[in-house]
A and B are shown apart, each in its own frame.
Chain A
Amino acid sequence: MSAPDLGQLERLARRARYLSCAAVAQAGAGHIGGPLSCIDLLVALYFRAMRVRPQEPDWPERDRLVLSKGHAAIGLYSVLALRGYFPVGELRSFDRAGSRLQGHPDMTRLPALDASAGSLGQGLSFGLGLVLAARLRGSSARTFVLLGDGELQEGMVWEALHLAPRYRLGRLVALLDANRLQQYGWPGSRTEERRDPWEGVPLPEIFTALGWQVRETDGHDFSQILAALAGVQEVPGEGPPQLILAHTVKGKGAPFAEGRYTWHSQVPSQEQLEQLRSALELTEAEVAW
């Protein structure tokens, strides 16, 4: 497969958005806001940045992805399906008894998954271990860890943030999905609004001070995302660990969910799915699954 261009990435992301919402609707449970905010990052990773072999998911030299914000599982599953790891139709089994597509990623069930997650705050430590193992094996594989900005409140994330620079793990890449919302959070000026959990906190400066190399990007603009990813890929294995701070919108692309904390976890109706399809300008054929 030749590498998809910006327009194709954009199109894939739209399809993944639709599939994620459709799978949640069909399961009658799941998350919307968090999956939609990180889909562009996942598409850029799996279709351009990561060295992977979908037909050989356990290839030892592959780059790894740790979805630390495990509640975004359906977003990852949709991207993996489009990338060819399993048939798109398998998304229909999301959340079902016996399914490989569990509510939160379970690496013991689905070979495409490099990590299990669900309890927030543990993925960066796991990723650190994977990169250390790669170094000890003499492999140049990278590990990408996708974190939520609410998740960043967990102490364990900061334990890993402190540790990684000590070992100069240049192939550890943290991506922060900074969508400025969590599940419930702190009220803003109006009840239906929520404050940015990191309001007033200079996160890039803090990460830099800890020893990370920080890049900021619009998390929905593929040219910016690809530039940031190209940058981290030039970093040598003994370089500083890499952090991409992606400014995103929770619920991105779904008119009913964008920027609304109440859509952290909700089930879209059939009308909302149809609204989504037309907002994403997808044809019937593109949303068939």
Chain B
Amino acid sequence: MSALRDVWAETLIELAEDCPHLLVLDGDLANSTRADRFALAYPGRFFQMGIAEQNLMGVAAGLAHGGFIPWLSSFAVFFTHRAADPLRMLVAQTGANVKIGAAYSGLLTGYTGKTHQDVEDLAILRAMPHMTVLAPMDGPECREMTRWATAHPGPVYLRLARDPVEGPAFPREPLSGQPRLLREGDDLALVSTGPQSLRCWEAAELLARRGIQARVVHLGFLKPTDQPALCAALQGVPVVVTAEEHSVLGGLGGLVAELLSAQAPRRVLRLGLEDTFGESASNQELLELHGLSPQRMAQRIESEMLR
């Protein structure tokens, strides 16, 4: 099973031939983000910008307004935190056609710890007008989203998890921008984004063995949100649970709670980091620690929601 960063880099190489304006700009992390493969395939269209993410973002905005499509390669945290101001003023406010390959997104960043775990990116970007925010759950969706983002005029942020996730292989589906139903169920709905959606599917399988039928909804298009479609996908269940590799504040949980409170009030339980930072640990330990492993999610749902 390939990781999203691999799929992303391979898709950029596929696209490059038919899209001569596509460039890649790296913040000295290409051998982690896999953009080094693009550098080998298209050395003339790969630009090493050094360890200077604010400058990287500014240069990208200039290139975009000069007619190019720059894809940026660095870790999520350095785009949304270090380069937040140029991202806001030069990219979002001008609608620059910049594509952000946000590698090592979420909680599972290979032992790097709290400095590198970006558990606030969705909160920041959801509040930033003109941004499009995508979080694919698996390789096929990542490939479609990379292609879609390249063709879409305007700034796009693409969350790219570091490691492959074990899980079922879902059939490839054309991108619709709508939430995707991964599993039927009427006792509750479990909503997630990125590879956490696959862990939610596993949690639902565990719950089914306990006689609880959880619907699983994957929301890959976080912003703009197809609100009517999301409301429709959550119809008919008494309880909605969100799960994300992100703070429970302002991310997917915030999105769902905001929407439902206005349109179709329901109890919403938000799983994620409880207003805390991450730390260095194995993926398994981190998922356990923050209640995001399939087992921990299933236990929590069973004990809290369905007493």
Q: Which of A28, A70, A183 makes the CB contact (< 8 A) with B115?
A: A70
Q: Is the CB of B31 within 8 A of A183?
A: yes
- Chain B's closest residue to A119 (CB) is B115
Q: Do residues B115 and A29 form an inter-chain contact, with CB atoms below 8 A?
A: no
Which A residues lie within 8 Å of B113 (CB)?
A: 102-104, 106, 118
Q: Which residues of B contact A27 (CB under 8 A)?
A: 111
Task: Evaluate contact between B51 and A106: CB separation under 8 angstroms.
Answer: no
Judged by a CB distance under 8 angstroms, whether A139 is at the interface is no
Known interface pairs A185-B48, A197-B50; A97-B285 also in contact (CB < 8 Å): yes
> Is A151 an interface position by the 8 A CB rule?
yes
What are some 11 contacts across the A-B interface (CB < 8 A)? A97-B280, A97-B286, A97-B289, A102-B113, A104-B114, A118-B114, A182-B28, A182-B51, A183-B31, A184-B29, A186-B48
Verify A184–B28 contact, CB threshold 8 A.
yes
- Contact check: which of B28, B43, B111, B115 meets A150 at CB < 8 Å? B28
Asked whether A155 lies within 8 Å of B52 as measured between CB atoms, the reply is yes
* A185 to B29 CA separation, bound complex (whole angstroms): 8
Categorize the interface residue count of chain A: 20 to 34
Per-position 1/0 for B24-37, Cβ under 8 A of A: 00101111100010
| Number of A-B residue pairs having CB atoms within 8 Å of each other in the complex | 88
* Interface status of B77 (Cβ within 8 A of chain A): yes
Selected contact of B280 from candidates A96, A120, A262, CB within 8 Å: A96
- Contact pick for A106, options B110, B114, B286, CB 8 Å: B114
Instruction: Tell me whether B282 and A97 are in contact (CB under 8 A).
Output: yes
Looking at the assembled complex, report how far the CB atom of B85 sits from the nearest CB atom of chain A, in whole angstroms: 12
Closest residue of A by beta carbon distance from B78? A119
B29 adjacent to A183 (CB under 8 Å): yes
Q: Does A117 contact B (CB under 8 A)?
A: yes
Residue in B28, B36, B50, B114 whose beta carbon sits within 8 Å of that of A102 in the complex: B114
Given contacts A97-B279, A184-B28, A262-B31, 4 further A-B contacts (CB under 8 A): A104-B116, A106-B113, A119-B77, A151-B51
Contact B77 A102 (CB under 8 A): no
In the complex, the answer to whether A184 meets B111 with C-beta atoms within 8 Å is: no
A153 / chain B contacts, CB cutoff of 8 Å: 28, 50-52
Is A104's CB under 8 angstroms from B112's CB? yes
**What is the chain A residue whose CB lies nearest that of B50?**
A153
Which B residues between 239 and 279 are near A, CB-CB below 8 angstroms? 279
Q: Considering the complex of A and B, which 10 residue pairs feature the smallest CB-CB distances, nearest first?
A: A118-B115, A97-B281, A153-B50, A103-B280, A29-B111, A103-B113, A97-B285, A153-B51, A95-B111, A102-B113
Shortest beta-carbon distance from A183 to chain B in Å: 5
Given contacts A155-B54, A184-B36, contact A96 B281 (CB under 8 A): yes
Q: How far is the CB of A143 from chain B (nearest CB, A)?
A: 20
CA distance A117 to B55 in the complex (A): 21
Cβ of B82 under 8 Å from chain A: yes
Option from A103, A121, A184 in Cβ contact (under 8 Å) with B26: A184
Interface residue A116 (Cβ < 8 Å from any Cβ of B): yes
Given A119-B78, A183-B32, are A104 and B281 also a contact pair (CB < 8 Å)?
Answer: no
When chains A and B are docked, how far (Å) is the Cα of A153 from the Cα of B116? Answer: 19
A186 / chain B contacts, CB cutoff of 8 Å: 48
**For residues 269 through 307 of chain B, which have their beta carbon under 8 Å from a beta carbon of chain A?**
279-282, 285-286, 289
- Other-chain contact of A116, B48, B55, B115, B279 (Cβ < 8 Å): B115
- A30 lies within 8 A of chain B by Cβ: yes
A99 at the interface (CB under 8 A from B): yes
- The answer on a CB contact under 8 Å between B82 and A103 is no
- Picked from B30, B32, B115, the residue with its CB within 8 Å of the CB of A104 is B115
B113 → chain A closest CB, angstroms: 4
Nearest B residue to A97, CB-CB = B281
Q: Are B30 and A184 in contact (CB under 8 A)?
A: yes
Q: Say yes or no: is A154 at the interface (Cβ < 8 Å to chain B).
A: yes
Within 8 A of B (CB), among A225-273: 262
**Chain A positions within 8 Å of B280 at CB level:** 95-97, 99, 102-104
Residues of A167-210 contacting chain B, CB below 8 A:
182-187, 197
Contact A103 B111 (CB under 8 A): yes
| A120 to B55 alpha-carbon distance, docked (Å) | 14
On chain B, the residues within 8 Å of A121 by CB distance are 51
Known A-B contacts A29-B110, A117-B115, A119-B82; A150 and B29 likewise in contact (beta carbons under 8 Å): no
* CA distance in complex: A29, B163 (Å): 14
- Tell me, in angstroms, the Cα distance from A153 to B50 when the chains sit together: 6
Residues of A within 8 A of B48 (CB): 184-186
Is the Cβ of A30 less than 8 Å from the Cβ of B111?
Answer: yes
Q: Which residues of chain B come closer than 8 Å to A98, judged between CB atoms?
A: 279, 281
Contact with B55, one of A28, A104, A155 (Cβ below 8 angstroms): A155
